[in-house]
Amino acid sequence: MEQLNVGILGWGTVGCGVIEILQSHREEIKKRLGRELVLKKVADIDLERPRPVSLPREILTRDAKAVIEDPDIDIVVELIGGIEPARSFIMKALERGKHVVTANKALLAHHGNELFDFARKHQRIIAYEASVAGGIPFIKSLREGLAANNIDTVFGILNGTANFILTRMRESGLTFQEALKEAQSRGYAEADPRLDIEGIDTAHKLAITAAIAFNMSIVFDSIYVEGISGIDPLDIQFGEEFGYVLKLLAIARLGEGGVELRVHPTFIPSGHVLAGVRGAYNAVHVHGDAVGHVMLYGLGAGMMPTGSAVVADLMDLARDIAQGIHCRLPALGSYELNPIPVKPMDEVVTCYYFRFSAVDQPGVLSKISGILGRNNISISAVIQKGRHIGGAVPIVMVTHEAVESSVRRAIEEIDRLDVVRAKTQLIRIENLPVNYSEV
Amino acid sequence: MEQLNVGILGWGTVGCGVIEILQSHREEIKKRLGRELVLKKVADIDLERPRPVSLPREILTRDAKAVIEDPDIDIVVELIGGIEPARSFIMKALERGKHVVTANKALLAHHGNELFDFARKHQRIIAYEASVAGGIPFIKSLREGLAANNIDTVFGILNGTANFILTRMRESGLTFQEALKEAQSRGYAEADPRLDIEGIDTAHKLAITAAIAFNMSIVFDSIYVEGISGIDPLDIQFGEEFGYVLKLLAIARLGEGGVELRVHPTFIPSGHVLAGVRGAYNAVHVHGDAVGHVMLYGLGAGMMPTGSAVVADLMDLARDIAQGIHCRLPALGSYELNPIPVKPMDEVVTCYYFRFSAVDQPGVLSKISGILGRNNISISAVIQKGRHIGGAVPIVMVTHEAVESSVRRAIEEIDRLDVVRAKTQLIRIENLPVNYSEV
């Protein structure tokens, strides 16, 4: 029985998960592969820090080159994260004939196109299941399982940190700062949480997802991104009264004029399956023309779930290598990518939730709705809560479908009114059908 | 560019879906595969009946042999269903060097072990994504995507007909017969609905699922199977009062003493994601030691969803054939199957819901609970609804965990009491954690 040798760059949380699985599941993996996956070398700049898994001294190194240049290593697992040196390491590994497994969504979002090209030229594979939705076998499902479909929409809750914070804000009325602090103390959020809370991590994953779903290049820079740090628990409560739950949603929708790619706080109907995804869980909802609606749900991060996805990639690659295959599948699911323009955010049509902070006096509502009307924005519901004669009160509105650029123009005008006392809160709504069944 | 030739046996509903996808997605499939999938021949005994897709006369035949023996055909798709002649046709196709795609869960449940052996001997593949959970890429997720896990439990709603009926009974208070009639008139249930409503179809799928999840042989005969035809809407309502929703659940749980394999109406907490799966939808919930909880959701039947799974298999096979591969993956996910005994139903430990029809007189509850107590069954809640002095009233009970054999013994004894006027209704409960998140 041949063995396959694996080298790991980056002995962090996910690295520990991969090592733990390779160690404790050695027998099962051998039975499933018909060969052994052997951990040959692990490189990290810090070898001393305490970790949940231990390794024999002789396979540890501080030198990434010792992994990349080891002629016995068949597959290099990049778990350093970030752009450099991860990118250079991956390219060097490919040049030396190694296949690569990575969980690095930031790198793929920014440099995936060139890296996949580079891998193809070297007849090597970059596997990246762990880069989106952690333990959920989402890349495989989308690229292979649903390959018979033309996919038109993907909705995803792709960041467990943001979802945890929104869940706590909703269920316990915490402010954003309180919920963030709790997420940090529980280890769900980093000391510098910007990537997670500002939607950037979600956008990285959306860029990769859309490329596979629509067989297009990875475009990160054209994604509209808005995070959750400006969310007030008040809006979550008002949304609730209209039957909505707030999620940080990744949206990819193919339509006339191109593809919408956007990440922003989104109200979705509380009866929709995605609304029930609580805490650190992730979920992705895909619509394909043949399969209809499909949803996948699970943990999108963490040592063991992400380790599960990395090792699944290792096993897939091991099966390919065993058969002497270079490239069973094109990286983004197609040998020919479609030139699909990204629809400018200004042209997006959706429904909106507004919270105006207006002086409580007669005629205010008429002024606001007049401006909305002149911008072709029609209102489907209004709530005015509380009274505070002469002071500011929240006026909450939900609209029918409107064009983003008109909405922005209207809100700018409204915010200049002297009866309006604070910046209007704007949250987009996706009126997803609550149940796809005909029942 | 090479092409791959496909022959189809059985031009029924799923056949039409496969043909529709091959016809309308020809270009996309070509781009994704780097080669063309060409429909070479379609065999059916009835070529005249009107169908939603049309085919050129010259590729149609009434003779299955014309497909199986065509030397140009690379892959044979078996969509006849049932045991014979499907089984013989598949074996003949394998003998002639063709790979096979099938959606035939009954055949695999009964003869999968021998068919997979036979395929392996002929170095050919039997692909069967469509046999479980229709359009959901479940087999691929379980066998490849979660391959790094030791899986311990699978819970599935695997029959859309039964789920539709239970949804209608719950939401509109229909009787079983009324809901079945509606399912039939909507095309969700066959004229002879026994396979669906008696749990047999679900058990076929569970046999296949468990074999992959636990890397064991397919064992159909040892599965405990109970259908939904005996369900009274009354029990659905009472269950609701205890916070439960009734589902026809496929359960596979690995534990000490072997694996539990059972299909029966099951109360699950109404807050669990599976409880929200309505109508003709399917869902599978898997727990693996690395990934944690994963759920997949989508349409489990129908022309296009099942067609989506069949064509995904065709594309997978086409990629293998393009690379000259015989057997990239063992049929059940492992080269070595584990000898796992199936736990006898008598030894299963779970919670129970009972509805006793007892005479409304003092001392009855004490008699019943006395018998339960002597059989080590402890009660967690009781409801007695209505009063009908001298007549029979329902007494509804929910128990803590108890052993199945003790429960049966107790119920037999209770049903012999002269104060008990009808057979006791027994429904098992799975107290699944409502949310797996730590929130």
Chain B residues with CB-CB distance to A320 below 8 A: 328
Among B322, B356, B391, the domain boundary falls at B322
CA distance B295 to chain A (A): 5
Whether residues A154 and A288 fall in one domain: yes
Tell me what the pLDDT averaged over chain A comes to. Answer: 95
Find residues 200-259 of chain A whose CB sits inside 8 Å of chain B: 215
Whether residues A379 and A351 fall in one domain: yes
Among B260, B289, B322, the domain boundary falls at B322
Answer yes or no: are the C-beta atoms of B107 and B82 closer than 8 Å.
Answer: yes
Whether residues B259 and B317 fall in one domain: no
Residue B89 covered by a domain: yes
Residue B335 covered by a domain: no
B241 labelled binding-site residue: no
DSSP percent split of chain A into helix, strand, coil, nearest 5: 40, 25, 35
Whether residues B54 and B185 fall in one domain: no
B137 with A148: Cβ contact below 8 A: no
Nearest-10 crossing angle of helices A13-24, A303-322: 60
For residue B9, give the nearest of B355, B223, B327, B310 by alpha carbon. B310
How much is the pLDDT for A1? 53
B134 labelled binding-site residue: no
* pLDDT (tens digit per residue) in B171-190: 999 999 999 999 999 988 88
How much is the pLDDT for B437? 54
Q: State the pairing for strand pair B3-9/B75-78.
A: parallel
Q: Structural domain of residue A178, as residue ranges?
A: 138-299
* pLDDT (tens digit per residue) in B290-345: 999 999 999 999 999 999 999 999 999 999 988 887 788 999 999 999 999 999 99
A304 with B311: Cβ contact below 8 A: no
A344-349, long-range: CB within 8 Å, 24+ apart, which pairs?
A: A345/A224, A345/A262, A345/A404, A346/A403, A346/A404, A346/A405, A346/A408, A347/A257, A347/A403, A347/A404, A347/A405, A348/A224, A348/A260, A348/A262, A348/A403, A348/A404, A349/A401, A349/A402, A349/A403, A349/A404
User: End-to-end alpha-carbon separation of chain B, Å?
Assistant: 54
- Residue B439 pLDDT more than 50? no
Residue B31 covered by a domain: yes
What is the average per-residue pLDDT within A307-315?
Answer: 98
A268/A419 Cα distance (integer angstroms) = 30
Above pLDDT 90, what percent of chain A? 90
CA distance A240 to chain B (A): 18
Looking up residue A380, the CATH number of its domain turns out to be: 3.30.70.260
What is the average per-residue pLDDT within B55-81?
Answer: 97
* pLDDT (tens digit per residue) in B384-395: 877 776 678 999
How much is the pLDDT for B322? 84
Residue A65 covered by a domain: yes
Whether residues A177 and A262 fall in one domain: yes
What is the average per-residue pLDDT within B408-419?
Answer: 97
Instruction: Using alpha carbons, list the distances in angstroms from residue B425 to A40, A95, A206.
Output: 59, 68, 50
* pLDDT (tens digit per residue) in A369-379: 999 999 999 99
B101 labelled binding-site residue: no
What is the average per-residue pLDDT within A145-153?
Answer: 98
What is the average per-residue pLDDT within A347-359?
Answer: 96
Residue type at A9 in one-letter notation: L
Length of chain B: 439
What is the average per-residue pLDDT within A128-138?
Answer: 97
B152 touches chain A (CB under 8 A): no
How much is the pLDDT for A361? 87
Answer yes or no: are the C-beta atoms of A122 and A95 closer than 8 Å.
Answer: yes
Answer yes or no: are the C-beta atoms of B303 and B51 closer than 8 Å.
Answer: no
A294/A151 Cα distance (integer angstroms) = 11
Q: Is A271 helix (H, G, I), strand (E, B) or coil?
A: coil
**For A335, which of B21, B34, B140 is closest by C-beta distance?**
B34
pLDDT band at B225; cut points 50, 70, 90: very high
What is the average per-residue pLDDT within A15-26?
Answer: 97
Residue B329 covered by a domain: no
A205/A426 Cα distance (integer angstroms) = 24
Residue B339 covered by a domain: no
- Residue B142 pLDDT more than 90? yes
Looking up residue A14, the CATH number of its domain turns out to be: 3.40.50.720
- Residue A437 pLDDT more than 60? no
How much is the pLDDT for A187? 86
A190 labelled binding-site residue: yes
Above pLDDT 70, what percent of chain A? 98
How much is the pLDDT for A120? 96
B147 touches chain A (CB under 8 A): yes
B306 labelled binding-site residue: no
Whether residues A146 and A276 fall in one domain: yes
**For A278, which of B278, B307, B439 is closest by C-beta distance?**
B439
Whether residues A115 and A248 fall in one domain: no
Chain B residues with CB-CB distance to A439 below 8 A: 164, 167-168, 171, 278-280
Chain B residues with CB-CB distance to A144 below 8 A: 137, 140, 312, 315-316
A431/B140 Cα distance (integer angstroms) = 31
Closest-CA residue of B relative to A439 is B279
- Residue A190 pLDDT more than 90? no
What is the average per-residue pLDDT within A25-40?
Answer: 96
A423 is catalytic: no
B359/A308 Cα distance (integer angstroms) = 56
Residue with tokens 């270079």: A326
A308 with B146: Cβ contact below 8 A: yes
Length of chain A: 439
Helices (H) and strands (E) in chain B, counts: 14, 17
Find residues 249-288 of chain B whose CB sits inside 8 Å of chain A: 273, 276, 278-281, 288
B341: its two tokens: 């005994």
Find residues 164-203 of chain B whose CB sits inside 8 Å of chain A: 164, 167-168, 171, 186
What is the average per-residue pLDDT within B198-209?
Answer: 98
> Residue A339, preceding bond cis, omega within 30 degrees?
no
How much is the pLDDT for A284? 98
Answer yes or no: are the C-beta atoms of B281 and B163 closer than 8 Å.
Answer: yes
Residue A28 covered by a domain: yes
How much is the pLDDT for B1? 53
Residue B293 covered by a domain: yes
How much is the pLDDT for A384? 86
Chain B residues with CB-CB distance to A147 below 8 A: 29, 32, 311-312, 315
A328 with B333: Cβ contact below 8 A: no
Phi-psi region of B182 (alpha: psi -120 to 50; beta: other; left: phi over 0): alpha
B43/B19 Cα distance (integer angstroms) = 12
How much is the pLDDT for A335? 96
Instruction: Using alpha carbons, list the distances in angstroms from residue B231 to B170, B309, B353, B421.
Output: 11, 32, 13, 18
* pLDDT (tens digit per residue) in A202-257: 999 999 999 999 999 999 999 999 999 999 999 999 999 999 999 999 999 999 88
B72/B36 Cα distance (integer angstroms) = 14
Structurally, chain A folds into a number of domains equal to 3
Choice between A191 and B209, residue whose per-residue pLDDT is larger: B209
DSSP readout, B229-293? TT--HHHHHHHHHTTEEEEEEEEEEEETTEEEEEEEEEEEETTSGGGG--TTEEEEEEEETTTEE
B419 touches chain A (CB under 8 A): no
A202 labelled binding-site residue: no
Chain A residues with CB-CB distance to B331 below 8 A: none
How much is the pLDDT for A102? 98
Chain B residues with CB-CB distance to A319 below 8 A: 328-329
How much is the pLDDT for B190? 82
Whether residues B175 and B71 fall in one domain: no
B308 touches chain A (CB under 8 A): yes
Whether residues B128 and B155 fall in one domain: no
How much is the pLDDT for A78? 98
CA distance B120 to chain A (A): 14
Chain A residues with CB-CB distance to B278 below 8 A: 435, 437, 439
How much is the pLDDT for A2? 82
- Residue A439 pLDDT more than 50? no
Whether residues A266 and A383 fall in one domain: no
Phi, psi angle pair for A423, to nearest 5°: -60, 135
- Residue A436 pLDDT more than 60? no
Looking up residue B233, the CATH number of its domain turns out to be: 3.30.360.10
A290 with B308: Cβ contact below 8 A: yes
CA distance A292 to chain B (A): 7
A90/A84 Cα distance (integer angstroms) = 10
Whether residues B144 and B131 fall in one domain: no
CA distance B137 to chain A (A): 5
Whether residues B315 and B361 fall in one domain: no
A150 with B335: Cβ contact below 8 A: no
A72/A69 Cα distance (integer angstroms) = 9
Among A265, A299, A333, the domain boundary falls at A299
- Residue A163 pLDDT more than 90? yes
Nearest-10 crossing angle of helices A26-33, A303-322: 30
